[in-house]
Structure 1
Amino acid sequence: MQKAAWRIWMPAANSQECGALPVADSNPTLANALTVEAPRSALSSDGASTAQLELSARRRVALVEGSTPHMSSETRSLLRRRLRTVAVLLFIGFGSFLLWSLVRWKMTEHLQAEYRWVFFSHVAVTSLMGLAAWKLCAKCDLSLTKLRIGEAVVFGAPSILFITLTYHKLQYCAALDEGHAHVASFTAAWLLLIFTYAIFVPNTWKRAAWVIGAMALAPLVVMLVAYLTIDQFAALLRTDDFDDMPVEQAMMLALAAMTAIVGVHTINTLRHEAFVAKQLGQYRLKRLLGAGGMGEVYLAEHQMMKRPCAVKVIRPEKAGDPQVLARFEREVRATAKLSHWNSIDIYDYGRTPDGTFYYVMEFLPGHNLGELVREHGTLPASRILYLMRQVCDALAEAHSHGLVHRDIKPANIYCAYRGGVFDVSKLLDFGLAKPLTDTNDSGLTQEGSITGSPLFMSPEQAGSEEVDGRSDIYSLGAVMYFMATGKAPFEYASPLKVMIAHASEDPEPPRYLNGEIPSELEEVILRSLEKRPEDRFQTVAELREALDRVPVDTEWTARMAADWWNNYGCPQRKAMAAEAVELAAI
């Protein structure tokens, strides 16, 4: 069974934003085999103030704040998808009728000249629908204002074309002394547009009433204009056969408009009920961040405090499995015992009336170590020491509680911005944590015979042996190796080969790959990667002391971390900060 690695971060809107490319472990094949990771965005700047940086990091939270689902990014994404679908359908429809009209182009020269402006309007609207479908692309993260403009284009352009066609048809049918068939044909087009809007556009009924009402009135206004400007049409309506036609069309359009508005209200009510149903206690779920074999992680908000957080819930289909549920609860209890600044904070946990179990974690802006190395290359020795000392402190507390993490890897060590401080290490995901003395384990960690991530697991984990704190030390050594060289100690296409290598092969010395690494740091890394647990550092405290003794030219400090984030963290930082300021003002 695959083990998911949860990463708690802020979701990026598109692949062009800072850090929008998801990065797993060093080998993508192996990472994908055992890891499910959500998209994220990074915190950084180009000389901006700390307040701007924090605001920039929280920009996606501002997007989803609000008491109704209509202001959420989920609704914006839904509106974009629906508008694109409508644009594609209208493009296909208008294009088909355009081809049909070209095939049957057999009118006289006089009628061709009269119809030419209608024909070119048809071509323009068809092209505009194709352009709108392209602009509303799947990867585009458009603001609500831009989406409303897109809505006006997608429904406004066809409305203008229908007005043109309606007037032309009324003029044409008056010349032929006909009416009902032609009027019914243009009315059908308006009804199609009205119900398309009602079905596809998420809206409040009041706003929909204005738009749908305008669509329903448009053909009646055109008919009135035609009555006043086309003498033949006015004469036609005065005859006994056609004098009731305006009333019939008005009643039909009014009934369609009322039905559409009620439909919008019904759909919106159902959607709101589904939205409310996604609440867990005092926490409102905003968007899915990631999913895996154990459950799902959502961006959420406490409804009273308006505090962003991450909520992990068990999968509904797994709720009936007592072993999985017991393992899930054990993860909460194990992590909740930890209070160190460098461990992920657990705010709350509970159950919903339907039996869904969840717990609430802090929400972290920043990068994980895998992303730092992938996007910015190997880290200097001073920064490796700065970050890993914090991890050692967090892990020492876990070991003091008798907990072995068993899934330490770059994706589970977060380099966050917390409390006005940059480069705060956060140790995440104690989902595989196991008490050293747990007589009630009963095989709760045996969803798979192997637990952890192959690229960074210890030999004893690879051999499914009992592990202790020294297994975490090996994984820390593998992570430091990755930070210093940009590679995991062993990288093979097959997870099995990687696990065999951990148990039988010696890693290439880090200084062969990066000559700037101090020899003392290399010794610490290689000692941590010893095959036999008794040859490694015996406690995290010993590893911490060894890291303290590594000489560096300049110690990495919080100030240097802030300068790095300001200068290298994200080229789009200014645009991101401006967007966050604009959103906060809404």
Structure 2
Amino acid sequence: MSPPDTLRRRTDPLIGTVVGGLYRVDAKIGEGGMGSVYRATQLAMHREVALKVLRTHVPADEKIQLVERFRREALATSKLRHPNTVSVYDFGETPDGVLYMVLELLQGATLSQVIRAAAPLPPERVAYIGKQIAKSLAEAHEVGIVHRDLKPDNVFICDYHGDPDFTKVMDFGIARLLTGDESHQVTRTGMMVGTPRYIAPEQAMARKVSPAADLYSLGVILYEMLIGRPPFEADSAMGLAMAHVNDPVPDVVVPGLPEAINEGWRGLVQALLTKNPKKRPQQAGEIAHWLSQLELDARRFRQEGQSATWTVQVASPGQAPSTYEGPSPKATVTVSRAVGERRAALWIAVAAVLFMALGGGLAYFLITLGDPSTPSPARGPTIAAEQAAPTEVPAASSLAAAPAPSPRTQAAPASAPAPAVDRGAPPEAKAPT
């Protein structure tokens, strides 16, 4: 054994050992509140993998329940097969009681690092990354798995077959694993687990958690990518918690975008950040479709400018959405600014003649109804790698934002890839750090 290997063994006794008789631990590649992540080799297949060792602090009389919960959660997440979800290959417990999971090894950067290095990101890129997150959530939600701690640190961006923004969601079920079976994630000490900057209001108030909580967190992530900062910030843990619960959603305005496209982003973010989870969108697949349309609109505008035709996501006039407050992603209005301006001019000319013939009232009525360049307004809301662990905070009171990792520069692509369908099998691996 070389001197560097000996030194590493002294500092970390796990390095150089074979875990479960199958995985040789080669090097530590990450560490956080949940535990440590190692690069390992699956000996039988000569395959590099990521080995996540979970750090658990529970009384001895609770260890049996923890191990059983770990097996259930790991088995459930290992069945997720979507290419935008990090694959779980194996899990187990060492003879000395250490719980571990074996994951695909990725190479790239966390979304948190990308945001810190390049935000605000181009809307086209935001939509492309966001729709991949939504597709990953859609599969998990369909089988009853709620992430509970969705944040940029749990989203990995890697280069896959020439796609520099291929997106992977990590750590499904980990937050629940560490806090128990209760759907609202209250620990035995009365503390609630979550990352304050991205937590849903119902999590902050220690209420029941549903897939809608993940969609709220996605809304926070989309806003941060677009604007360059989170929608809610505060100097104190209490202030941040209360902001998610009480503060109105800031407006979404991307400089340089036509109001029609901004209206689509505004409607989406406001719908996702609705305080009442029952009034949010309920289907992640629906959000993926919405983001695909916004990606297409952003690309058209970049390529064609003001003469482009884009799709505005708005609710049909007089029609209340059935499942949530906000614009319906199924109702679309196609708007061409150049055509709209010409039609507006025609209506003004017609109205001028009518004004002289019939009086101002009828002319005003026709102008108001006849201008097709004005979009309907969106309705607002009613009121494996290791990252930092979910922050423990008093339920419904104080939350503290977790520090972001050091950024790793990653250049934005000239244009986001176009497909609105899944891209096939996931990448075979290199590693998140």
TM-score, normalised relative to structure 1: 0.46
- Number of the residue aligned with 2:118: 376
Q: Answer yes or no: is 1:397 the counterpart of 2:136.
A: no
Q: Deviation of residue 277 (structure 1)?
A: 3.9
Give the direction of change, closer, same or farther, for the CA distance of 1:416–1:467 in structure 2 (3 Å limit). Answer: same
CA distance in structure 1 between the aligned counterparts of 2:290 and 2:256, rounded to whole angstroms: 20
Instruction: Note the 1:465-484 alignment, pairs <5 A.
Output: 465-484=207-226
- Secondary structure of the 2:2 match is helix
Return 5+ residue gaps in structure 1 as ranges: 1-68, 80-267, 557-562, 569-586
- Number of the residue aligned with 1:524: 268
Give the direction of change, closer, same or farther, for the CA distance of 1:273–1:396 in structure 2 (3 Å limit). Answer: closer
Would the aligned equivalents of 1:406 and 1:472 in 2 still touch at CA under 8 Å?
A: yes
Superimposed CA distance per residue, residues 248-267 of structure 1 (whole angstroms, 9 cap, x where no aligned partner): xxxxxxxxxxxxxxxxxxxx
Q: Deviation of residue 465 (structure 1)?
A: 0.3
CA distance in structure 1 between the aligned counterparts of 2:245 and 2:88, rounded to whole angstroms: 35
- Number of the residue aligned with 1:117: none
Q: Deviation of residue 501 (structure 1)?
A: 0.5
Would the aligned equivalents of 1:432 and 1:451 in 2 still touch at CA under 8 Å?
A: no
- Number of the residue aligned with 1:252: none
- Secondary structure of the 2:83 match is coil
Would the aligned equivalents of 1:285 and 1:298 in 2 still touch at CA under 8 Å?
A: yes
Would the aligned equivalents of 2:129 and 2:167 in 1 still touch at CA under 8 Å?
A: yes
- Which among 70, 75, 83 is matched to residue 2 of structure 2? 70
Q: Answer yes or no: is 1:489 the counterpart of 2:231.
A: yes
- Number of the residue aligned with 1:324: 66
Q: Deviation of residue 564 (structure 1)?
A: 5.0
Structure that is richer in helix per residue: 1
- Secondary structure of the 1:343 match is coil
Supply the AA of the counterpart residue of 1:361.
Answer: L
Would the aligned equivalents of 1:382 and 1:555 in 2 still touch at CA under 8 Å?
A: no
Q: Answer yes or no: is 1:533 the counterpart of 2:273.
A: no
Give the direction of change, closer, same or farther, for the CA distance of 1:285–1:509 in structure 2 (3 Å limit). Answer: same
- Secondary structure of the 1:510 match is coil
Instruction: Note the 1:282-297 alignment, pairs <5 A.
Output: 282-297=22-37
Superimposed CA distance per residue, residues 509-559 of structure 1 (whole angstroms, 9 cap, x where no aligned partner): 121x75547321122111111111232212112222322332524279xxx
- Number of the residue aligned with 1:407: 149
- Which among 91, 94, 108 is matched to residue 352 of structure 1? 94
Supply the AA of the counterpart residue of 2:231.
Answer: P
Q: Deviation of residue 337 (structure 1)?
A: 1.7
315-324 vs 528-537, which deviates more?
315-324
Give the direction of change, closer, same or farther, for the CA distance of 1:503–1:537 in structure 2 (3 Å limit). Answer: same
- Number of the residue aligned with 2:299: 554
Supply the AA of the counterpart residue of 1:314.
Answer: L
- Secondary structure of the 2:191 match is coil
CA distance in structure 1 between the aligned counterparts of 2:195 and 2:12, rounded to whole angstroms: 40
CA distance in structure 2 between the aligned counterparts of 1:271 and 1:398, rounded to whole angstroms: 38
CA distance in structure 2 between the aligned counterparts of 1:496 and 1:325, rounded to whole angstroms: 33
- Secondary structure of the 2:92 match is strand
Overall identity of the aligned pairs, in %: 34
Supply the AA of the counterpart residue of 2:93.
Answer: R
Q: Deviation of residue 452 (structure 1)?
A: 1.5
Q: Deviation of residue 291 (structure 1)?
A: 3.5
The structure with more radius of gyration: 1
CA distance in structure 2 between the aligned counterparts of 1:313 and 1:529, rounded to whole angstroms: 34
Instruction: Note the 1:91-110 alignment, pairs <5 A.
Output: none
Would the aligned equivalents of 1:339 and 1:345 in 2 still touch at CA under 8 Å?
A: yes
Would the aligned equivalents of 1:328 and 1:431 in 2 still touch at CA under 8 Å?
A: no
Q: Answer yes or no: is 1:453 the counterpart of 2:195.
A: yes
Q: Deviation of residue 449 (structure 1)?
A: 2.8
TM-score, normalised relative to structure 2: 0.61
- Number of the residue aligned with 2:160: 418
Give the direction of change, closer, same or farther, for the CA distance of 1:272–1:490 in structure 2 (3 Å limit). Answer: closer
CA distance in structure 2 between the aligned counterparts of 1:378 and 1:554, rounded to whole angstroms: 17
Supply the AA of the counterpart residue of 1:70.
Answer: S
CA distance in structure 2 between the aligned counterparts of 1:535 and 1:566, rounded to whole angstroms: 35
- Number of the residue aligned with 1:204: none
CA distance in structure 2 between the aligned counterparts of 1:475 and 1:317, rounded to whole angstroms: 27
CA distance in structure 1 between the aligned counterparts of 2:278 and 2:211, rounded to whole angstroms: 11
- Number of the residue aligned with 1:427: 169
CA distance in structure 2 between the aligned counterparts of 1:444 and 1:522, rounded to whole angstroms: 29
Instruction: Note the 1:120-519 alignment, pairs <5 A.
Output: 275-277=15-17, 279-315=19-55, 320=60, 321-419=63-161, 421-432=163-174, 441=181, 445-447=185-187, 449-511=191-253, 514=255, 516=257, 518-519=262-263
Would the aligned equivalents of 2:184 and 2:209 in 1 still touch at CA under 8 Å?
A: no
CA distance in structure 1 between the aligned counterparts of 2:228 and 2:256, rounded to whole angstroms: 13
Structure that is richer in strand per residue: 2
CA distance in structure 1 between the aligned counterparts of 2:57 and 2:247, rounded to whole angstroms: 41
CA distance in structure 1 between the aligned counterparts of 2:219 and 2:413, rounded to whole angstroms: 29
- Secondary structure of the 1:355 match is coil
Would the aligned equivalents of 1:281 and 1:352 in 2 still touch at CA under 8 Å?
A: no
Give the direction of change, closer, same or farther, for the CA distance of 1:318–1:283 in structure 2 (3 Å limit). Answer: farther
Would the aligned equivalents of 1:334 and 1:430 in 2 still touch at CA under 8 Å?
A: no
Would the aligned equivalents of 1:299 and 1:309 in 2 still touch at CA under 8 Å?
A: yes
Q: Deviation of residue 567 (structure 1)?
A: 8.8
CA distance in structure 1 between the aligned counterparts of 2:65 and 2:184, rounded to whole angstroms: 6
Supply the AA of the counterpart residue of 1:547.
Answer: L
Query: How large is the Cα RMSD of the aligned pairs?
Result: 3.4
